Amino acid sequence: MRKTILITGASSGLGRGMAREFAKAGRNLALCARRTERLAELKAELEAAHPDIRVSIRALDVNQYEQVFEVFEAFREEFGGLDRVIVNAGIGKGQPIGTGYFHANRKTAETNFVAALAQCEAAVEIFRAQNAGHLVMISSMSAVRGMPRNLTTYAASKAAVAALAEGIRADLLRTPIRVSTIFPGYIRSEINEKVKKTPFMVDTETGCRALVAAIEREPADASVPRWPWAALGFLMKRLPLSVVSKMA
> Which residues are known to be catalytic?
154
Tell me the backbone φ, ψ of residue 184, rounded to 5 degrees: -70, 145
Half-sphere exposure of 45 (CA within 13 A, CB side): 14
Per DSSP, 195 falls in state: -
Per DSSP, 187 falls in state: B
CA distance 181 to 16: 19
Tell me the backbone φ, ψ of residue 163, rounded to 5 degrees: -65, -40
Asked if 221 and 46 count as a contact pair (C-beta separation under 8 A), the reply is no
CA distance 3 to 235: 37
Asked if 139 and 158 count as a contact pair (C-beta separation under 8 A), the reply is yes
